Chains A and B, each alone.
Chain A
Amino acid sequence: MRKGFLPRLAATGLSSNRQTYLPYFLTCTGTVLMFYNMCALTYHTSVMKNVSISSLMSIGMWVTAIFAVIFLFYTNSFVIKRRKKEFGIYNILGLEKKHIGITMLFESLYVYLGSMVFGIGLGILFNKLITLLLYRMLRFDPNFRFEISTRAILYCAVLFAGIALLNLLYNLLQVRLSNPIQLLHGSSAGEKEPKAKWITALLGAITLGAGYWLAITIQDPVETLLMFFVAVILVIIGTYLLFTAGSVAILKLLRKNKGYYYKPAHFTTVSGMIYRMKQNAAGLASICILSTAVLVMISTTVSLFVGSEDLLHTRYPEEIEITVAYPYGTAFDTDALLADTKAIAQQAGRQIENLKAYTSVTASTDRQGNAFVKAAGGSSNADVYLLVILSVQDYYNLTGKQVSVGPGEMYACGSVFGSEEAEAWDSIEVLGSSYRLAGREGDAPEIGAYSAWMVELCCLVTDHTDTVASIAETVQATHGETYNPYYSRICFDIDGTAEEKAALAQDLREDQLSKYSRDADSDPLVTMRSRETARDDFLSLYGGLFFLGIFLGSLFLMATVLIIYYKQIVEGYDDKDRFAIMQKVGMSRQEVKRTVRTQVLLVFFIPLLAAAVHITAAFPMLTRLLKILALDNIPLFLMCTICTVLVFALIYALVYSMTAKVYYRIVYRKG
C-alpha cells in the first residue's frame, strides 16, 4: 500500500461525512473549551488562595471531566453507527481490517488534534471573558487577572487523549466484531419490537414515587441533607425504568385504542415510537435527567446569588454584633464596653443606630416532653434546643416587647412552643427547676450569632436578673468550669459607606483585642461579627456557586441539545426509507410534515414535561436545602425556578424547530 494513502483516506472520510462529523467535532471542541476553563479556574493563582472557591471549582472540574468521558463516548457511538456501511465497503474492496483500523486511528488523531487546537484556543479567549466576569461578580481582589494555565492545557491534553483512545478502541471493536455484510447493513438491522414490561414499569413508578415522597415529606433539615441524594438516585432510577418500560406500555395501550390509533397523525408516530423505543427511551430518560439537573442547578444557584443580600441580612441582622461570653460569678462591665464602642464610633464620625444591648444565659439542652435537660454528648444538632434565658428588661432590650412575668414563671418563645404538643403544657422544667408558663410565642427572636446553627432556638424570659443568675449557676455546675454561661451582646447599625463601615469594624476589633485579652480561662471572651466584613466572603461563596451553576448548567444544556440533535438525525436516516414508502403509497407532503412534527414534538417535550414534574416534586426539598443555607425566601426561589424553566423551555423550543427542519429535510423525498 502506498505511503500516505491511509491518512488521506481518513481525511476524505471525515470531510465526506460532514453532516455527522461536524457536530461531533464541535462537541469535542466545546467540551475541551469547557474543561480547559474549569481547569484553568481551579488552578488559577488567586482562586487557589481562597479555599472555599477553589474546592468548589475542583468539584466543578471533576464533574466536567466525568461528564466529558460519558458524553463523548455516547456521541461517538452515534457517529460510528452511521459509518459502518462505509467501512464495510472498504472491507469488501480489499482493505484489510488492519488498514481500516489505521484509517480510524488517523481520523481519531485528526479530530483530537483539531478539537484540542480549537478548543484550547477558544478556551483561552473565553477564559479572558470569564476572568472579567468573575472579577466583577465575585468582587475578587484586584490582583485577580487573566492567565494562561499550562497545567490546564496539560490536563486537557491527557484527558481528551484518554477519551479519544477509549472511543478508538470501541470503534475498532465494532469493526473487529463484524463481517463485511454486517458492516454494510450496520445501521439498518431489523430490531424486534420490544415487549411491554409491566413489572419493570411498576417498579419504576414505585421508585419514582418513593423519591417524590422523600422530597415532599421530609421536614427535618439535617435529614433533608442526608436524604437528598437518596431521593435523587431514586428519581434517576425511576425515570430510567419508567421511560424504558412505561413508554412501551403506554404506547401499546394507545395502539390498542383503535379509534385513536388509526388516525393519520397517530398511526405512523405511535408504531414508529414503539419500534425504536428501547434505545429511544434511554436517550429520552437521559435528556430528562440532564434537563432536571440543569434546572435544579441554575434555579438554586441563581436564587442564592440573587438572595445573597437577603442571606447576609439573615446571618447578620445588625451591622455589628459584639458578644462577650463569661462564666458565672464574674462580672463584666457591659456599659464600659458600650461607652468605648460609642467613643470609637464618634471618633470615626459614624452614627450608631438601632442599638440593642442585653445579657443572657445560654445553655444547649435536650428536650424530654416539657423538660429541658443537659444535652447528652453525641446528639445531632437537629435535636438540640438552645436556651437563651433573659430577664424581662433584657428581653425588652432585645425585642422591644414588654411582657409581664411573675416569680416562678417564664415567658417562652420558640417554634416548639407553637407546636400542638406544647398546647397542653402549663409549665416547663429547665435544668431541674419547674416554671409556670406566663405566656408563649411560636417564634424566637432573631439572634445573628445563632442564625447559622441548625438548632432550635428557645428564648425564655424570667422575672428578674436574680432568677437568671441562679439558672446561670446551675448551667455552670452542669456544663463544667470552662463553659461560659453568660453572654452579653451589643448590636447596632451604623451609617456611612461600605468602606467607612468596614473601617469602623476594623477599629473596633483592634480596640477590643487590646483591651479584653483572651488568654486566661476566666477572662471574658469577646467576639465581633461585622456584616460588611462578611460580605466579601458571602459574595465569593455564592457568586462562586452561581458561576458554577451557570457554567455546568450550560454544559449540560449543550449536552442535552446535542443528544437530541444526534438522536433526531440518526432517526431521520432510519426513517428515511419508511417515509419514502409512505409517500409512494400516498402520503402527501403536508402529512409527512405533520407526522414529523408530532414525532419530533413528542421526543422533545416528553422529557421536558417529566423534568418539570421532577422540579415540582423537588421544590419542597430544595426549599428546605436552601433554608439550611439560610435562604428562607420561597417566593424568590419560586420566581427563579419559574424563570429558569421558561428560559430553558425557550432554548429547547428553538432547538426543536431547528431539529424538526433538519429531520424533515432528511426524510422528505422530492418529486
Chain B
Amino acid sequence: MPLLEVKNLKKVYTTRFGGAQVQALSAVNFSVERGEYVAIMGESGSGKTTLLNIIASLDKPTAGKVLLAGEDVTSIAEKQLSVFRRKKLGFVFQDFNLLDTFCIRDNIFLPLVLSGENHKKMEEKLTPIAKKLRIEEILDKYPYEVSGGQKQRCAVARALITGPELILADEPTGALDSRASDNLLDMFSRINGEGQTILMVTHSVKAASHASRVLFIRDGEVYTQLYRGERTREAFYADIASSLTLLSVGGEEHA
C-alpha cells in the first residue's frame, strides 16, 4: 500500500459573494511510496500550493480523497485535525515560520509541547536530530540571531522531531542563497536516505533534481512525471529543465 494516495482531487474556489468560480485543481491523481522523495513542479498559479495545503489538511477539497497510510485526511474531524497534523506530518516552509518569541530549542520543541510530551523525552529526541542537522551550537539562540540557512535547518528539525510519516516542504530553498540551498538539499537527501518520505513543492530545478521523482502540474492536474532512476543528478537536472520548457511552450506531449 502506498503511503500517500491522492485520488481525483478537485478544488474550486468561489469568491465570497458567490459569483465567479476559480478551478484550482481539476483532477489530481498520484501516489507516493514509503521512503520516496517526490518533488512537485509547476508555474505560479498551477495549483501546487493548493495541493500541498489539502494534503496538509489545512484546506478542504471540493471533491476527491487524500489517503495517508490508508486514512482519509479529508474526512478527519476538526477536533482531531491538529493532533493528526502534529503526529503524522512535518512541515518546512519557505519563510521558515519560526517564532521570534522562542529560542531555537523551544521552536523545535513546539509540536512536542503541544502534544503534552515529557520534557526529558523531548531532550532525548532532540540530541540526535540536532547533531544530524549541525545546529547543536545555536540551540539557545533566538531566530533573529542566526542565518537563513540555520533557520531552515531548525525548521527541518522541528518537522523531524515528531517522527512524522511524511515531510511536506513548500519551497524550502526559496529564501536561501545558493550555498545554504545546497546545504539544505544535501540534508534532505541524507534524511531521505534514512527512510524519511518527503514531498516537496518547488520552483527550483536544482531542488527538484535531488528528488527521486518529479511531478509536473499544469492547469490543476498532473501533466507528466519523471523518474530519476539511475541517472546522475546532472543528467536528471537537464531532463527536468527540458520537461519544464516543454511544459511552458506547449501541450503536445500530453498523454
Q: List chain A positions with a Cβ less than 8 A from chain B.
A: 190, 193, 258-259, 262-264, 267-268, 271-272, 274-275, 578, 581-591, 671
With A263-B116, A585-B114, A588-B81 known as contacts, the answer to whether A578 contacts B86 (CB < 8 A) is: no
**Contact residues in B for A274 (Cβ distance below 8 Å):** 101
Can you report 10 A-B residue pairs in the complex whose CB atoms are below 8 A from each other? A190-B144, A263-B116, A267-B113, A578-B100, A585-B86, A585-B158, A586-B114, A587-B82, A588-B79, A591-B82
Kindly provide the distance from the CB of B195 to the nearest chain A CB, expressed in whole angstroms. Answer: 22
- Scoring B residues 53 to 89 as 1 if CB is less than 8 Å from chain A, else 0, what string do you get? 0001011000000000000000000110111011000
**Contact residues in A for B158 (Cβ distance below 8 Å):** 585
Q: Is the CB of A578 within 8 A of B99?
A: yes
Option from A258, A259, A582, A588 in Cβ contact (under 8 Å) with B83: A588
Q: Is the CB of A582 within 8 A of B122?
A: no
Q: Is the CB of A267 within 8 A of B97?
A: no
Q: How far is the CA of A268 from the CA of B100 in the complex (A)?
A: 11
Q: Is the CB of B91 within 8 A of A584?
A: yes
Kindly provide the distance from the CB of B228 to the nearest chain A CB, expressed in whole angstroms. Answer: 30
With A193-B142, A259-B119, A262-B119 known as contacts, the answer to whether A585 contacts B111 (CB < 8 A) is: yes
B106 on the interface (CB 8 Å rule)? yes
Kindly provide the distance from the CB of A265 to the nearest chain B CB, expressed in whole angstroms. Answer: 10
Kindly provide the distance from the CB of B164 to the nearest chain A CB, expressed in whole angstroms. Answer: 10
Option from A275, A578, A589, A591 in Cβ contact (under 8 Å) with B114: A591
Option from A259, A262, A272 in Cβ contact (under 8 Å) with B113: A262
Q: How far is the CA of A193 from the CA of B100 in the complex (A)?
A: 9
- B81 to A, closest residue via Cβ: A588
Q: Is the CB of A671 within 8 A of B58?
A: yes
**Contact residues in A for B119 (Cβ distance below 8 Å):** 258-259, 262
With A190-B144, A263-B116 known as contacts, the answer to whether A586 contacts B82 (CB < 8 A) is: yes
Kindly provide the distance from the CB of B201 to the nearest chain A CB, expressed in whole angstroms. Answer: 15
Interface members, chain B 85-113 (any A CB < 8 Å):
85-86, 91, 93, 97-102, 106, 109-111, 113
Q: List chain B positions with a Cβ less than 8 A from chain A.
A: 56, 58-59, 78-79, 81-83, 85-86, 91, 93, 97-102, 106, 109-111, 113-117, 119, 122, 142, 144, 158
**Contact residues in B for A671 (Cβ distance below 8 Å):** 58-59
Q: Is the CB of B97 within 8 A of A587?
A: no
Option from A264, A581, A583, A589 in Cβ contact (under 8 Å) with B78: A589
Q: Is the CB of A587 within 8 A of B114?
A: yes
Q: How far is the CA of A584 from the CA of B92 in the complex (A)?
A: 10
Q: Is the CB of A264 within 8 A of B113?
A: yes
Q: How far is the CA of A259 from the CA of B85 in the complex (A)?
A: 25
Q: Is the CB of B102 within 8 A of A271?
A: yes
Q: Is the CB of A578 within 8 A of B101?
A: yes
Option from B93, B100, B101, B113 in Cβ contact (under 8 Å) with A263: B113
**Contact residues in A for B79 (Cβ distance below 8 Å):** 588, 590
Kindly provide the distance from the CB of A504 to the nearest chain B CB, expressed in whole angstroms. Answer: 76
**Contact residues in A for B99 (Cβ distance below 8 Å):** 271, 578, 581-582
**Contact residues in A for B114 (Cβ distance below 8 Å):** 264, 267, 582, 585-587, 591
Specify which of B83, B93, B114, B116 lies most central, judged by the most chain A CB atoms within 10 Å of its CB: B114
**Contact residues in A for B93 (Cβ distance below 8 Å):** 584
- Please give 15 more A-B residue pairs, beta carbons under 8 A apart, in addition to A578-B99, A586-B83: A190-B100, A264-B113, A264-B114, A267-B113, A271-B101, A272-B101, A275-B100, A275-B101, A581-B97, A582-B110, A584-B56, A584-B58, A584-B91, A585-B111, A587-B82
Q: How far is the CA of A586 from the CA of B78 in the complex (A)?
A: 12
**Contact residues in B for A588 (Cβ distance below 8 Å):** 79, 81-83
**Contact residues in B for A591 (Cβ distance below 8 Å):** 82, 114
Kindly provide the distance from the CB of B129 to the nearest chain A CB, expressed in whole angstroms. Answer: 16
Kindly provide the distance from the CB of A545 to the nearest chain B CB, expressed in whole angstroms. Answer: 47
With A583-B82, A585-B110 known as contacts, the answer to whether A264 contacts B116 (CB < 8 A) is: yes
- B123 to A, closest residue via Cβ: A258
Q: How far is the CA of A274 from the CA of B99 in the complex (A)?
A: 13
Specify which of B56, B91, B158 lies most central, judged by the most chain A CB atoms within 10 Å of its CB: B91
Kindly provide the distance from the CB of B6 to the nearest chain A CB, expressed in whole angstroms. Answer: 19
Specify which of A193, A263, A583, A584 lies most central, judged by the most chain B CB atoms within 10 Å of its CB: A584
Q: How far is the CA of A589 from the CA of B83 in the complex (A)?
A: 11
**Contact residues in B for A193 (Cβ distance below 8 Å):** 142
Q: Is the CB of A584 within 8 A of B97?
A: yes
- B59 to A, closest residue via Cβ: A671
Kindly provide the distance from the CB of B213 to the nearest chain A CB, expressed in whole angstroms. Answer: 26
Kindly provide the distance from the CB of B4 to the nearest chain A CB, expressed in whole angstroms. Answer: 18
Kindly provide the distance from the CB of B150 to the nearest chain A CB, expressed in whole angstroms. Answer: 16
Kindly provide the distance from the CB of B73 to the nearest chain A CB, expressed in whole angstroms. Answer: 14
**Contact residues in A for B83 (Cβ distance below 8 Å):** 586, 588
Q: How far is the CA of A259 from the CA of B118 in the complex (A)?
A: 8
- A580 to B, closest residue via Cβ: B97
Q: Is the CB of B86 within 8 A of A586?
A: yes
Q: How far is the CA of A583 from the CA of B111 in the complex (A)?
A: 10
**Contact residues in B for A587 (Cβ distance below 8 Å):** 82, 114
- A273 to B, closest residue via Cβ: B101
Kindly provide the distance from the CB of A264 to the nearest chain B CB, expressed in whole angstroms. Answer: 5
Q: Is the CB of B106 within 8 A of A267?
A: yes
**Contact residues in B for A583 (Cβ distance below 8 Å):** 82
**Contact residues in A for B111 (Cβ distance below 8 Å):** 585-586
Kindly provide the distance from the CB of A224 to the nearest chain B CB, expressed in whole angstroms. Answer: 46
Q: How far is the CA of A578 from the CA of B91 in the complex (A)?
A: 15
Kindly provide the distance from the CB of B123 to the nearest chain A CB, expressed in whole angstroms. Answer: 9
**Contact residues in B for A259 (Cβ distance below 8 Å):** 119
**Contact residues in B for A581 (Cβ distance below 8 Å):** 97-99
The 3 closest A-B pairs by CB, nearest first: A586-B86, A588-B82, A275-B101
**Contact residues in B for A271 (Cβ distance below 8 Å):** 99, 101-102, 106
Q: How far is the CA of A272 from the CA of B110 in the complex (A)?
A: 13
Q: How far is the CA of A209 from the CA of B125 in the complex (A)?
A: 46
- B159 to A, closest residue via Cβ: A585
**Contact residues in A for B116 (Cβ distance below 8 Å):** 263-264
Q: Is the CB of B97 within 8 A of A586?
A: no
Specify which of B58, B102, B115 lies most central, judged by the most chain A CB atoms within 10 Å of its CB: B102
Kindly provide the distance from the CB of A395 to the nearest chain B CB, expressed in whole angstroms. Answer: 76
Q: How far is the CA of A588 from the CA of B76 in the complex (A)?
A: 13
**Contact residues in A for B122 (Cβ distance below 8 Å):** 262
Kindly provide the distance from the CB of A260 to the nearest chain B CB, expressed in whole angstroms. Answer: 10
Option from A262, A578, A586 in Cβ contact (under 8 Å) with B85: A586
Kindly provide the distance from the CB of A297 to the nearest chain B CB, expressed in whole angstroms. Answer: 38
- A191 to B, closest residue via Cβ: B100
Q: How far is the CA of A585 from the CA of B116 in the complex (A)?
A: 14
**Contact residues in A for B144 (Cβ distance below 8 Å):** 190
**Contact residues in A for B106 (Cβ distance below 8 Å):** 267, 271
Kindly provide the distance from the CB of B156 to the nearest chain A CB, expressed in whole angstroms. Answer: 13
Q: How far is the CA of A591 from the CA of B111 in the complex (A)?
A: 12
**Contact residues in B for A268 (Cβ distance below 8 Å):** 101
Q: How far is the CA of A578 from the CA of B117 in the complex (A)?
A: 21
Q: Is the CB of B91 within 8 A of A262?
A: no
Kindly provide the distance from the CB of B97 to the nearest chain A CB, expressed in whole angstroms. Answer: 4
Q: How far is the CA of A584 from the CA of B56 in the complex (A)?
A: 9
- A260 to B, closest residue via Cβ: B119
Q: How far is the CA of A272 from the CA of B83 in the complex (A)?
A: 23
Kindly provide the distance from the CB of A397 to the nearest chain B CB, expressed in whole angstroms. Answer: 79
**Contact residues in B for A275 (Cβ distance below 8 Å):** 100-101
Q: How far is the CA of A268 from the CA of B101 in the complex (A)?
A: 8
Q: Is the CB of B91 within 8 A of A585?
A: yes
**Contact residues in A for B91 (Cβ distance below 8 Å):** 584-585
